[in-house]
């Protein structure tokens, strides 16, 4: 598995022939009036099989369609971060993120690549057995609709088309130069960018992505203990808009 990098300037059939023996037709029996057939019973509709619960080790269970807008809360070692996802911006990315969050993919996932003045990257599972399943589970590219401004959330990719899988980055500054290279934001941080700014960036490019995939959290805890990580990721209910209070009824004049 190649590391996920940023694509920026720094960056027989056999055919069986069968001879059918012909036999003479059977003699016709005298015609008899067939008894009337009873009306067929109405077929009962078979109950639908219950949808399988999301299972990180079985990607076929993780194809739910995401809502048009949803919010994900990342409880991190530095504090909470909330991401609002807009499906119209990048439908494939929004669906993938939704399914990964529902299944608990990001529990204990580290922000393994934080570059000051650029972005912070996460999305390799803390569990090697999960990484083996998802490392090459790529999805089609989305058209770039929104821009990679500060706070926008985008899937990482290689220079090859359709190479996005599970790795994601949060833009820490305005990176509109990424827009021309197929990086399609699917969400934005609506709360907690000050938390993102505090993620440890002292290791730079040092953590090896292949080692993270093969060894998981144990490798990072041993070699890069100061990395921040996601403790839990959850989908939170959208806050409905406040209903304006009804105007008070006008006072009626009192009669004498």
pTM of the model: 0.77
What is the side-by-side strand order in the sheet with 168-171? 113-115, 119-122, 168-171, 152-155, 185-191, 79-86, 69-76, 230-236
Measured between alpha carbons, how far is residue 237 from residues 63, 93, 182, 234 in Å?
Answer: 21, 20, 30, 10
Average pLDDT (214-241) is 94
> Which of 33-37, 119-123, 237-241 shows the lowest mean pLDDT across its residues?
33-37
Mean pLDDT across the chain, nearest whole number?
85
Q: Compute the distance between CA of residue 40 and CA of residue 8 in angstroms, rounded to an integer.
A: 67
CA angle 79, 84, 85 (to 5 degrees): 130
Q: What is the architecture, at CATH level 2, of domain 69-124+137-205+228-236?
A: Beta Barrel (2.40)
Residue 45 above 70 pLDDT?
A: no
Q: How much is the pLDDT for 253?
A: 62
Q: Which residue has the higher pLDDT, 231 or 136?
A: 231
What is the SS3 assignment for 224?
coil
Q: For residue 78, what is the DSSP state?
A: T
What is the SS3 assignment for 83?
strand
DSSP 114-157: EETTTEEEE---SSHHHHHHHTT--BPPPP--S---TTEEEE--
Q: Which residue has the higher pLDDT, 95 or 249?
A: 95
Residue 163 above 80 pLDDT?
A: yes
Q: Compute the distance between CA of residue 58 and CA of residue 60 in angstroms, rounded to an integer.
A: 5
Contacts of 236 (CB under 8 A, 6+ apart): 71, 72, 73, 82
Contacts of 186 (CB under 8 A, 6+ apart): 85, 86, 87, 89, 90, 93, 94, 97, 142, 153, 154, 155
CA angle 160, 162, 166 (to 5 degrees): 105
Instruction: Give residue 141's pLDDT band: very low, low, confident or very high (50, 70, 90).
Output: very high
Q: Which residue has the higher pLDDT, 112 or 136?
A: 112
Distance of CA 70 to the CA centre of its chain: 12
Count the neighbouring beta carbons within 10 Å of the beta carbon of residue 107: 18
Q: How much is the pLDDT for 135?
A: 85
Looking at mean pLDDT, say which of 41-45, 200-204, 245-249 comes out highest: 200-204
| Cross-strand pairs, 234 | 73
Which among 202, 206, 208, 157 is positioned nearest to 178, based on CA atoms? 157
Residue 61 above 60 pLDDT?
A: yes
pLDDT digits 0-9 by tens, 174-213: 999 999 999 999 999 999 999 999 999 999 999 999 999 9
The percent of residues in the chain predicted with pLDDT above 70, rounded, is 73
Q: Which residue has the higher pLDDT, 239 or 84?
A: 84
Q: Where are the domains of the chain?
A: 69-124+137-205+228-236
Q: How much is the pLDDT for 153?
A: 98
Residue 20 above 90 pLDDT?
A: no
Total residues found in the chain within this entry: 256
Q: Compute the distance between CA of residue 174 and CA of residue 245 in angstroms, rounded to an integer.
A: 40
Average pLDDT (157-172) is 97
Contact between 85 and 186 (Cβ < 8 Å): yes
């Amino acid at each position: 598995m190649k590391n996920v990098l940023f694509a920026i300037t720094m960056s027989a059939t056999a055919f069986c022939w069968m001879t059918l023996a012909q036999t003479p037709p059977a003699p016709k029996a005298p015609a008899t009036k067939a008894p009337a057939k009873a009306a067929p019973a109405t077929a009962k509709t078979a109950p639908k099989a219950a949808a399988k619960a999301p299972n990180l080790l079985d990607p076929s269970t993780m194809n739910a369609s995401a809502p048009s807008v949803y919010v994900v809360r990342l409880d991190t070692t530095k504090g909470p971060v909330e991401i609002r996802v807009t499906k119209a911006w990048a439908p494939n990315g929004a669906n993938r993120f939704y399914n990964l969050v529902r299944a608990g993919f990001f529990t204990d996932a580290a922000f393994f690549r934080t570059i000051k003045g650029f972005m912070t990257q996460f999305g390799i599972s803390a569990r090697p057995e999960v990484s083996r399943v998802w490392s090459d589970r790529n999805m089609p590219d989305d058209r770039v609709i929104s821009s990679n401004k500060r706070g926008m959330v985008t899937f990482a990719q290689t220079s090859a088309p359709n190479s996005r899988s599970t790795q994601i980055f949060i833009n820490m500054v305005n990176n509109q130069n990424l827009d021309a290279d197929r990086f399609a934001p699917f969400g934005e941080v609506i709360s907690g960018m000050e938390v993102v700014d505090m993620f440890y960036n002292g290791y730079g490019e040092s953590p090896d992505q292949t080692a993270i995939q093969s060894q998981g959290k144990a490798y990072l805890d041993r070699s890069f203990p100061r990395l921040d990580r996601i403790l839990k990721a959850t989908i939170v209910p959208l806050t409905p808009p406040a209903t304006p209070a009804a105007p008070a009824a006008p006072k009626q004049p009192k009669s004498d």
